Every structure is written in C-alpha cells, then in structure tokens.
C-alpha cells in the first residue's frame, strides 16, 4: 500500500526520494507526491498515476539548493485518487508538510474541532488533519517538535508519519504507531522510509522504529524518544545483510513472470542449510531458542491473510499428519475479533510474505499478553512481524514485487513442511523420503516451467470465460483456493475454489458449458474420488482442465485439457500445482491485456485493516 521516503543530506533530496518511491512501487498505489525544501520555501509536487509522472515533474522544476524532501505513494482510503488527495498534505500557511501511512481513525472529530477554530481543509483525506493540528499547536506557542508530539497524542489509529517544515529547515520529524518505519544512517545523510528496500542503495545501517516512538533527524544526527514518557531511547542499530536492493525485471516482461520463474531457486533457498537428507536432519536455527517450549505445545493456530492463509492450510495438513499437532488456520482479520479461549500451550504462527500485513500484525498483538508462543514464517527480513514474534523461520524467497504472490507461496509451503518435519524429528516413515524429495523438487519445478508454452495456449483458450471453478481434495484443496485467488486477482475472472467433495452440496448447480473447472487431480489415494467429481462435471457439459501426474493417460479421456506435472509425493504436489496455476493466471491476464503486476484496486502490502 502507501510508501514513505524522506531524505536529508548532500545528495539531490528529490532524486533520492523519487528513487526510493520507485523501489516501493510494487506495493501498489494510485498517486504520488513530494515536498522539497528549497531554501526557506517548500515546493509541492503531486500527480495521479505512476512515480514516473512525479519524476517528470521534478525534472521540470528548479529544485537546486534543496536540503531535504519527503515523498509518498498513496493507495486511496479516504477520498478518490486525485492530486488534491495525494500526499504530502500541508497546513494552510504551507509551512508544515506531512506524509502518512495508516489511518487516523478519529480524523473527523479532530477536523470538526479545527474547523470550529476557523481551519479550512482542501482534501478529503484523514491525513490533512495532522499538519493542521501541528499548526494549531505551533500557534498555541509550542516549537515544532513539541507541537508534533502534542498532535500525536490527539491521534487515534495507525500511522507512520514524516514531517518537513520551513520552520526548522534542516530537520525531519517522524513517528510510528502500527505502521512500519525505518531509519537509514548514512555518512552525513539520513533517510527514513516505510520499507528498507527504499534506502538499501544508500546505506545498510538501520534502526527499526518501534510503536510509540518519535524521531528527530538531521543530516548528521538522530534522536529517538518514547512518546508516552518523552524519554530518549537507545536505538539498536542493525545491518541490512539479507536485503537485496535489486528491483528490476531482468529479461522478463513482468515481475510476476520473473518471480514464477524463480521457483526452482526459491525452493533451494528455502531449504539451503536446513535440509540434510543424508543425515536425516532438519535444522531450523530460527526455532532453536524455543525448542524446549515447542515440546509443550498442544495446539497451533496459524494466522494469515490471502495466499499466506492458503499456504497455512497446506501447513495445517503437514502439522497434523507429520507432527501430530492439532492445528487450525484462521484468517487474521477474523481471529482478531473472536473471543475464543487460548491457553498458554497454544502457539500462534503468523505467515506473511511482507511481514507488514495489518490484520496479521493485529492478530499477533491480540495474543501479546496471553503468554502464547508467537512464531513467524515471514519473507521480508526485519519486517514488523519478523520482529514481533518470539521465533520463526524466514522464507528467503527474496523481494516479491508483483502484487500476486507466487514464489512466496512456494517458499511458505516449503518452510511449513520443514517445521512439521523438525517437530516430527524423524519419527514418521515419510520423514526421509520427504527430505529426499525436497532436494529433487527444484528440478521438478523447472520441468513444470518448461511447459509454459502449453499453459499459455491453454490460458488463451479459456481467457474469455467469465467464471471458473477450482477443485481439489486434501493437499490439493488449499491449492484450489489459491488457484482461484490467483486467477481472480490477475484476470478479474470470477473464480471459486472448492473442496472437490463439496461439489454435490451446491457448486454443481453452476456447471454448464460456460463454466469451466480446473481440477487438481494428481496421483493420490483420493484420485479416484476426484475423477468421479470430474465425471459429474463432464456429465453436465462443464469444460474441465486437469492438472495430473505424468503418465496418467486415463485422465485424457475425462478432461478437455490436461497439464501434466512430474510425479512427486502428495505433500509436495501443492508446490508444482501452484506453478501451473500461477502461469495459467499470468497468461490469462496477458491474453486480456491486463497489468497483472499491479491489478486494479489491490496493493502488495496491505498495511491497513
């Protein structure tokens, strides 16, 4: 969703900020803006659409001699995408400019209060109350920083805020509550951003701000305080060792395709140093410090959203089958508002690619005082969720930039399998074969990718249907849900995922020649049952595309089209089937001329509830 970058230092601040915003483009946004301090005046540049438009505005402006700048990419929540609603927002005197991620929940109340005192508002946003409120406190006699703190104390909701003012030209002020913010410490320069990707090109030395902290930054200094106690905080300076600043598409036309093609490497990275098939060992350094606690866990609740929740559902089957651990997956947005009893022997496992999903963060916050062990399966190193959890296992999939999650799903499923095997500790007969198969999987993933042309042809054939059903059983069931999500977000086709066994309980009523089904029908003890479901669909003239295991000739007689995947253990079929589904969704979007990297209405990182 929204992205924030601020810079103070000797480089061209507007260039640093616009480059930072470009690195955050993948998060999804609809407008972009910049406030640049030039001498004693602040230049405001804003545009609807891409950061490239903002870059062009910068090139046309005279910003020479500028000292600092703040910028923002906005994903509309309060008010339509427009220049007026784009950030930065300012006070009426245009002396205090603010960018904001998150939502100010009590903005109406503050707005009314300020309007009663004569303040006028230009935008429909919640954010505009912030510079106006700071202005109010300045006019009450406070200096800029105390006025900022006083304003923060009036706000309810979630925020990462960055302030620039002509009143104190060399200073940036920032604050964080439930929205990420990281300070990059350079040599005679400082950069603040909502995501380390925006600053990694300039410095690897960072401080992750904590909730309730306020920071004042000049080009050479930073000072962090706890807002509630107004006491200085000793910051922990960390090194960004695992973050790759490469954000290009390489030779691929889209990030999504590039990321799908990274599947074999993703599998290698997720298992590297962790799987030792010869010795029959799974080593998970991230769980070592809670190994003893894990022995006393009798229930696991997985919390996640979207694709991560479907990876969690695959994980649920792993935990039950391989670790004998009662497990359930809850959508984070529902978990937060449920009143279920949770005991100390329950562990809560959050799964998140970005590590910044607001609902998943809220789910972890909810159990903060329950004494539950909080675990994470996270891709983004150093992200909020990674830092909130007691222990966890990184996915190591590298930055994922297309809105549609692809390689992250594969890494999440792999890591969840490793956790289940780690808990199983060699007790099941499947332990060794699974470890060996994990080593063979990258080549099998590459074999699936080599069928891209065939899948593309299939996608072109089915691209103009309006509806699609995805069905599967057991491990293939969450995969059906994931296939449907992938297709709908990339191609805007109505798609639903169902447990194949549910067909007769309702969905079969929809089937006719215009309603195709994607059947996940790889070899498994339940294959015959899935084949019966396919028969029932065909009997109602519903077109069927099947994913089947290489060598299954029989299925050709049942399905209209078949995409074969290499033989693998049932537990690992979701990985290979997901690659087929991802390619299918990608090519349908290509056939329809859609921007699958940035689908309409969606953002990569969903940082508001």
Instruction: Return the active site residues.
Output: 2, 604
One of 165, 307, 389, 607 touching ligand M6R (CB under 6 A):
307
Q: Which helix (H) or strand (E) holds 461?
A: helix 452-462
Q: Which helix (H) or strand (E) holds 376?
A: strand 373-378
Report in angstroms how near the CB of residue 352 gets to ligand M6R at its nearest.
3
Name residues contacting ligand M6R, limited to 469-498 (CB under 6 A): 485, 489
CB 225 within 8 A of CB 254: no
Task: Please report, for the chain, how many H helices and E strands are present, in that order.
Answer: 19, 27
Report in angstroms how near the CB of residue 443 gets to ligand M6R at its nearest.
26
Segment contacting ligand M6R by CB under 6 A, of 110-118, 254-262, 346-354, 494-502 = 346-354
Which tokens hold the place of 272? 């590297």
Report in angstroms how near the CB of residue 587 gets to ligand M6R at its nearest.
16
* 31 sits near ligand M6R (criterion: CB under 6 A): no
Q: Is 207 left (phi over 0), alpha (psi -120 to 50) or beta?
A: beta
Report in angstroms how near the CB of residue 20 gets to ligand M6R at its nearest.
20
* 330 sits near ligand M6R (criterion: CB under 6 A): no
The shares of helix, strand and coil residues in the chain, as percent rounded to the nearest 5, are 40, 25, 40
Q: In the beta sheet, which residues pair with residue 159?
A: 102, 178
Report in angstroms how near the CB of residue 525 gets to ligand M6R at its nearest.
30
CB 445 within 8 A of CB 267: yes
CB 586 within 8 A of CB 254: yes
Report in angstroms how near the CB of residue 9 gets to ligand M6R at its nearest.
31
Q: In the beta sheet, which residues pair with residue 99?
A: 162
DSSP string over 13-48 = HHHHHHHHHHHTGGG--SEEEEEEEETTEEEEEEEE
When the beta carbons of 353 and 491 are compared against ligand M6R, the nearer one is: 353
When the beta carbons of 213 and 360 are compared against ligand M6R, the nearer one is: 360
One of 66, 171, 333, 353 touching ligand M6R (CB under 6 A):
353
Report in angstroms how near the CB of residue 415 gets to ligand M6R at its nearest.
13
DSSP state, 178?
B
Q: Burial of 542 by CB count in 10 Å (0-12 exposed, 13-18 middle, 19+ buried)?
A: buried
When the beta carbons of 7 and 587 are compared against ligand M6R, the nearer one is: 587
* 606 sits near ligand M6R (criterion: CB under 6 A): yes
One of 73, 95, 360, 384 touching ligand M6R (CB under 6 A):
360
Q: What are phi and psi of 176, to 5 degrees?
A: -135, 135
When the beta carbons of 23 and 485 are compared against ligand M6R, the nearer one is: 485
Segment contacting ligand M6R by CB under 6 A, of 241-249, 264-272, 351-359, 417-425 = 351-359
The whole-angstrom separation of Cα 401 and Cα 250 is 13
Report in angstroms how near the CB of residue 357 gets to ligand M6R at its nearest.
3
Which tokens hold the place of 523? 């070899």
One of 95, 127, 308, 549 touching ligand M6R (CB under 6 A):
308
Name residues contacting ligand M6R, limited to 91-150 (CB under 6 A): none
Report in angstroms how near the CB of residue 355 gets to ligand M6R at its nearest.
7
Segment contacting ligand M6R by CB under 6 A, of 161-169, 265-273, 347-355, 541-549 = 347-355
Q: Which helix (H) or strand (E) holds 377?
A: strand 373-378
CB 96 within 8 A of CB 105: no
Count other C-beta atoms under 10 Å from residue 399's C-beta: 23
The whole-angstrom separation of Cα 348 and Cα 159 is 25
Size of residue set near ligand M6R by CB under 6 A: 15
Which tokens hold the place of 527? 């294959």
When the beta carbons of 45 and 386 are compared against ligand M6R, the nearer one is: 386
One of 68, 179, 357, 568 touching ligand M6R (CB under 6 A):
357
With CB atoms as reference, the residue minimizing the distance to ligand M6R is 306
The whole-angstrom separation of Cα 419 and Cα 345 is 17
DSSP string over 413-433 = HHHHHHHHHHHHTT-STTHHH
* 35 sits near ligand M6R (criterion: CB under 6 A): no
When the beta carbons of 130 and 303 are compared against ligand M6R, the nearer one is: 303
Segment contacting ligand M6R by CB under 6 A, of 34-42, 175-183, 306-314, 527-535 = 306-314
When the beta carbons of 266 and 354 are compared against ligand M6R, the nearer one is: 354
DSSP state, 585?
H
Q: In the beta sheet, which residues pair with residue 348?
A: 301, 374
When the beta carbons of 403 and 480 are compared against ligand M6R, the nearer one is: 403
When the beta carbons of 68 and 309 are compared against ligand M6R, the nearer one is: 309
The whole-angstrom separation of Cα 285 and Cα 234 is 28
Report in angstroms how near the CB of residue 342 gets to ligand M6R at its nearest.
21
Angle between helices 107-116 and 129-139 (to 10 degrees): 40
Window 426-465: contact mask with ligand M6R (x via CB under 6 A): ----------------------------------------
One of 31, 132, 333, 354 touching ligand M6R (CB under 6 A):
354
When the beta carbons of 469 and 485 are compared against ligand M6R, the nearer one is: 485
The whole-angstrom separation of Cα 62 and Cα 24 is 25
One of 5, 70, 305, 361 touching ligand M6R (CB under 6 A):
305
Which tokens hold the place of 600? 């309409």
Report in angstroms how near the CB of residue 307 gets to ligand M6R at its nearest.
3
* 22 sits near ligand M6R (criterion: CB under 6 A): no
DSSP string over 206-275 = EEEPPTTEEEEE-SS-EEEEETTTTEE-----EE--S-------TT-SSHHHHHHHTHHHHHHHHHTTTE
**Chain-centroid distance, C-alpha 414:** 18
Name residues contacting ligand M6R, limited to 376-405 (CB under 6 A): 403-405
When the beta carbons of 483 and 542 are compared against ligand M6R, the nearer one is: 483
* 200 sits near ligand M6R (criterion: CB under 6 A): no
Q: Which residues bind ligand M6R (CB under 6 A)?
A: 305-308, 352-354, 357, 360, 403-405, 485, 489, 606
């Amino acid at each position: 969703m929204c992205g924030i970058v601020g810079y103070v230092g000797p480089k061209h601040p507007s260039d640093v900020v616009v480059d930072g915003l470009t690195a955050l483009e993948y998060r999804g946004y609809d407008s972009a803006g910049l406030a640049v301090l030039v001498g004693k005046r602040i230049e405001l540049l804003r545009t609807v659409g891409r950061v490239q438009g903002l870059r062009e505005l910068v090139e046309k402006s005279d910003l020479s001699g500028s000292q600092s700048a703040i910028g923002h990419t906005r994903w509309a929540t309060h008010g339509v995408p427009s220049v007026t609603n784009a950030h930065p927002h300012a006070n009426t005197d245009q002396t205090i400019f603010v960018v904001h991620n998150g939502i100010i929940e009590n903005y109406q109340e503050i707005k009314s209060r300020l309007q009663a005192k004569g303040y006028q508002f230009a935008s429909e946003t919640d954010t505009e109350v912030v510079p106006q409120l700071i202005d109010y406190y300045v006019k009450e006699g406070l200096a800029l920083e105390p006025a900022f703190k006083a304003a923060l104390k009036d706000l309810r909701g979630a925020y990462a805020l960055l302030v620039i003012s002509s009143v104190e030209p060399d200073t940036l002020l920032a604050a964080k509550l439930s929205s990420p913010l990281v300070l990059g410490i350079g040599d005679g320069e400082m950069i603040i951003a909502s995501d380390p990707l925006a600053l990694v090109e300039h410095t690897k030395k960072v401080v992750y701000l904590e909730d309730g902290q306020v920071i004042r930054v000049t080009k050479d200094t930073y000072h962090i305080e706890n807002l509630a106690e107004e006491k200085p905080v000793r910051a922990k300076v960390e090194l960004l060792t695992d973050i790759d600043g490469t954000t290009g598409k390489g030779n691929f036309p889209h990030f999504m395709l590039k990321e799908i093609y990274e599947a074999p490497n993703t599998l290698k990275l997720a298992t590297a140093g962790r799987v030792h098939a010869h010795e029959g060992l799974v080593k998970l350094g991230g769980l070592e410090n809670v190994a003893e606690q894990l022995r006393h866990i009798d229930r696991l609740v997985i919390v996640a959203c979207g694709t991560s929740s479907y990876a969690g559902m695959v994980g649920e089957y792993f935990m039950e089958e391989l670790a004998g651990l009662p497990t359930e997956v809850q959508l984070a947005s529902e978990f937060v508002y449920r009143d279920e009893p949770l005991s100390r022997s329950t562990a809560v496992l959050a799964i998140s690619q970005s590590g910044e999903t607001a609902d998943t963060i809220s789910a972890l916050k909810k159990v903060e005082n329950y004494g539950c062990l909080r675990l994470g399966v996270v891709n983004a190193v150093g992200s909020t969720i990674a830092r909130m959890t007691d222990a966890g296992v990184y996915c190591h999939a590298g930055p994922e930039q297309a809105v549609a999650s692809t390689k992250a799903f594969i890494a999440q499923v792999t890591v969840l399998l490793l956790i289940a095997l780690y808990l199983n500790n060699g007790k099941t007969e499947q332990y060794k074969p699974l470890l060996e198969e994990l080593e063979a999987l990258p080549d099998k993933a590459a074999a699936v990718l080599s069928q891209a042309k065939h899948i593309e042809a299939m996608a072109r054939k089915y691209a103009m249907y309006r509806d699609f059903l995805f069905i599967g059983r057991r491990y293939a069931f969450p995969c059906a849900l994931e296939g449907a999500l992938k297709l709908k977000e990339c191609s805007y086709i109505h798609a639903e995922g169902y447990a194949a066994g549910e067909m007769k309980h309702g969905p079969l009523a929809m089937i006719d020649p215009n309603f195709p089904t994607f059947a996940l029908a790889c070899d498994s003890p339940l294959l015959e049952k899935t084949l019966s479901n396919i028969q029932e669909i065909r009997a109602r003239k519903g077109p069927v595309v099947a994913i089947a295991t290489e060598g299954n000739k029989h299925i050709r007689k049942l399905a209209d089209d078949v995409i074969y995947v290499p033989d693998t253990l049932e537990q690992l079929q979701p990985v290979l089937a997901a690659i087929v589904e991802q390619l299918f969704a990608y090519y349908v979007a290509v056939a329809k001329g859609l921007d699958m990297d940035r689908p309409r209405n969606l953002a990569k990182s969903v940082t508001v509830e």
